[in-house]
Amino acid sequence: MNLFEHLKAQCRDDWNAYIQHAFVRQLGDGSLPRACFQHYLKQDYLFLLQFSRAWGLAIFKSEDLESMRYAQAGLNAMLDTEIGLHVAYCREWGIGEAELQALPEAAATVAYTRYVLDAGFAGDLLDLHVALAPCILGYAEIAQWLAAQPATVRAGNPYNAWIEMYLSAEYQQAAQTERALLERLGQELPAERQAALAKRFRTATRMEVSFWQMGLDLAD
């Protein structure tokens, strides 16, 4: 079993709670309240800012040119493209850039993003990517899961553009590239190291569950 599958297997219940969360299900069938999705979008903007810092940290933590270039590409994509696309998408949902910039971080946003950064500061590059994996690889899996569900509505669903974004060949390929790096960094690990990484992965997955729940509850 490769590292990513091993990590998921060690926290199967938490992983399923994340992939199949009520927020995700309601997004898929179009029943998610508009205000919940807007709240999620706002906090996801703040998440992306911290995510960019994590990619910057990945450059620092890299010990070979290939990993450094990969992290640099990730950082450039976030700052030059992804955040701009998110701002434009938020605008479609009635959320202006000035509002995004003035937002306070919800507790779930702070907890998750700082946990990822702490994983990178305290550990090595593999620790950081294991903490990032539930987000990068999880969203790709969520899109695939939604596409396979009979209850998922595509035509007329106001959230279909979100599903399409993560189901796109571009995003799915980006997830596969991240997974390949994770496997390269995680070759031939001793059992103790695998156990520590599984704990880190489970915590990050639980943070993702909390992030969905925040959107559902409109909690700050």
Measured CA to CA, the distance from residue 172 to residue 78 in angstroms comes to 16
- Note the pLDDT of residue 104: 96
Sign of CA dihedral 7, 13, 16, 18: negative
Question: What is the number of other CB atoms lying within 10 angstroms of the CB of residue 34?
Answer: 11
- Residue 125 backbone phi and psi in degrees, to 5: -60, -35
Question: What is the number of other CB atoms lying within 10 angstroms of the CB of residue 52?
Answer: 18
**Coil, helix or strand at residue 173:** helix
pLDDT by position in tens, the chain (length 220):
699 999 999 999 999 999 999 999 999 999 999 999 999 999 999 999 999 999 999 999 999 999 999 999 999 999 999 999 999 999 999 999 999 999 999 999 999 999 999 999 999 999 999 999 999 999 999 999 999 999 999 999 999 999 999 999 999 999 999 999 999 999 989 999 999 999 999 999 999 999 999 999 974 4
Give the CA angle between residues 206, 43, 41 to the nearest 5°: 105
- Note the pLDDT of residue 1: 65
- Note the pLDDT of residue 218: 78
Indicate the pTM of the whole model. 0.94
- Note the pLDDT of residue 220: 43
Active site residue 135: yes
In order of their start, the domains of the chain are: 3-217 (1.20.910.10)
Cβ-contact 181, 67 below 8 angstroms: yes
Instruction: Please name the residue ranges forming H helices in 93-124.
Output: 97-101, 107-122
Measured CA to CA, the distance from residue 204 to residue 216 in angstroms comes to 19
- Note the pLDDT of residue 86: 96
Non-local (6+) Cβ contacts of 3 within 8 A are: 182, 183, 186, 189, 194, 197
Active-site residue, from 11, 36, 90, 135? 135
Active site residue 208: yes
Cβ-contact 5, 141 below 8 angstroms: no
